[in-house]
Amino acid sequence: MIMTDTFYHFRDIRVAETPAPSPRAELHRELGRTLAELNEQVLRLDASDDQLRDYIQQARELKAAMAEQGQRDYGTTLRRLLDGEGTGDDVTDLVDFEILTGKASPLSPPLELWLEGDKVKGRGIFGLAFQGPPGRLHGGVIGLALDILLAKTQDFVEQIGVTGTLKIRYLAGTPLHKPVEFEARLIRMEGRKLICEGSVWVEGQQTVAAEGIWISPRGDYRLKPEYAELEAAIRA
Ligand SMILES: CCCCCCCCCCCCCCCC(=O)SCCNC(=O)CCNC(=O)[C@H](O)C(C)(C)COP(=O)(O)OP(=O)(O)OC[C@H]1O[C@@H](n2cnc3c(N)ncnc32)[C@H](O)[C@@H]1OP(=O)(O)O
């Protein structure tokens, strides 16, 4: 993370290099985690009709109580970060609610991400909520995870773009409830196109291979100066 004394810029947010969470952010994470556990519990819950009615009532009361509190504004946080005027809490606020990886999102396993050498790496244990075939992770969820991983290879480069093409080859089933390892790396850059590849592993066996093309809407991709040594790895 590159920062000034006080401020953060959106382009300088790297995976796993975010500021320490505030006590309030920790509470949001705990709430998200608890709701994720609740979600797992709801799936195929074996309860009587009366118990289910009682749970519905309790859930409605919780939702109504939260609705009274209002929502924090995502747009303002993002604007401050895009202007290079974001606080540490703004950074946490942005990444903690991201899809699948956000530690405060009830929809995250969570998928943990980090940079290692020329790779973006990830690990997550996926529960029943993410099931496709019985006992296996849904292929679309794997696609989402790979989209996230491959997109994060943009941490190594100038420019940020959108997914243009994502090709996925499913080699074997990916089980639920076991650690799933993800990897992504840059292959090459061609002007506004960034070509990258990814893979998914469980207990040393590769279950998925992916290739992606990201397109920068503005300028050409190039390595950030601090990652210049990746040039050799990209060309290899
Ligand atoms: C941006 C700043 C944000 C700041 C604020 C941040 C807010 C926080 C952001 C979080 C971000 C999370 C992102 C999550 C990942 C998504 O989920 S992204 C959503 C899914 N993807 C999309 O919606 C993309 C939809 N498609 C498009 O918008 C446009 O088609 C594209 C991809 C921008 C390309 O349009 P274009 O710029 O007009 O491209 P064009 O000039 O036709 O082609 C340029 C080159 O790219 C190639 N190309 C074009 N399309 C494709 C394609 N689909 N596949 C392969 N190659 C292609 C062309 O062949 C051409 O190649 P060359 O001829 O130069 O060799």
Cα–ligand 1 centroid distance for 218 (angstroms): 10
Instruction: Verify that 39 and 151 share a domain, yes or no.
Output: no
Nearest CA to ligand 1 atom 21: 163
Nearest CA to ligand 1 atom 28: 162
Q: How far apart are CA 106 and CA 104, in angstroms?
A: 7
Q: What is the mean pLDDT of residues 146-168?
A: 96
Q: How many residues would you count in the chain?
A: 236
Q: Containing H/E element for 170?
A: strand 162-170
Instruction: Verify that 11 and 81 share a domain, yes or no.
Output: yes
List of residues 6+ apart from 213 with CB closer than 8 A: 164, 165, 193, 194, 195, 196
Instruction: Verify that 125 and 230 share a domain, yes or no.
Output: yes
Sheet holding 162-170, edge to edge: 112-116, 119-125, 179-190, 193-202, 205-215, 162-170
Residue 144 Cβ contacting ligand 1 at under 6 Å = no
How far apart, in Å, do the first and last CA atoms of the chain sit? 27
Q: What ipTM goes with this model?
A: 0.88
- Read off the CATH number of the domain in which 217 is found: 3.10.129.10
Cα angle 125-107-85, degrees, rounded to a multiple of 5: 110
The domain boundary, picked from 67, 102, 137, lies at 102
pTM reported for the whole predicted model:
0.91
Instruction: Verify that 57 and 22 share a domain, yes or no.
Output: yes
Q: Containing H/E element for 70?
A: none
Q: How is residue 79 written in tokens?
A: 């604007």
Which of 91, 95, 152, 162, when mutated, tests ligand 1's pocket best, judged by the most ligand atoms within 8 Å of its CB?
162
Cα–ligand 1 centroid distance for 14 (angstroms): 21
Q: What is the mean pLDDT of residues 61-81?
A: 94
Task: Decide if pLDDT at 233 tops 60.
Answer: yes
Average pLDDT, the chain: 94
pLDDT tier at 4, thresholds 50, 70, 90: low
Instruction: Verify that 36 and 125 share a domain, yes or no.
Output: no
Instruction: For residue 232, give its domain range.
Output: 111-236
Closest atom of ligand 1 to 190 CA is 65
pLDDT tier at 235, thresholds 50, 70, 90: confident
Instruction: Verify that 77 and 118 share a domain, yes or no.
Output: no
Q: Which of 115, 103, 98, 173 is nearest to 142 (CA)?
A: 173
Task: Decide if pLDDT at 232 tops 60.
Answer: yes
Q: Higher confidence at residue 173 or residue 5? A: 173
Q: How is residue 12 written in tokens?
A: 């300088």
Q: How far is CA 96 from the centre of its chain?
A: 9
Instruction: Verify that 95 and 117 share a domain, yes or no.
Output: no
Cα–ligand 1 centroid distance for 215 (angstroms): 4
Beta bridge partners of 161: none
Task: Decide if pLDDT at 31 tops 90.
Answer: yes
The domain boundary, picked from 102, 124, 141, lies at 102
Q: How is residue 138 written in tokens?
A: 């849904």
Instruction: Verify that 121 and 87 share a domain, yes or no.
Output: no
Instruction: Verify that 97 and 127 share a domain, yes or no.
Output: no
Instruction: Verify that 67 and 135 share a domain, yes or no.
Output: no
Beta bridge partners of 130: none
Beta bridge partners of 170: 208
Task: Decide if pLDDT at 5 tops 80.
Answer: no
Q: What is the mean pLDDT of residues 123-139?
A: 97
Contact assessment for residue 166 and residue 206, using Cβ atoms and an 8 Å cutoff? no
Instruction: Verify that 90 and 121 share a domain, yes or no.
Output: no
pLDDT at 9: 92
Candidate from 7-11, 30-34, 150-154 with smallest mean pLDDT? 7-11
Give me the number of domains the chain comprises.
2
The domain boundary, picked from 53, 78, 102, lies at 102
Q: Higher confidence at residue 51 or residue 16? A: 51
Tell me which residue has tokens 């590159």.
2
Instruction: Verify that 145 and 226 share a domain, yes or no.
Output: yes
Q: Which residues of 52-68 are buried (b: 16+ CB within 10 A; e: fewer)?
A: eeeeeeeeeeeeeeeee
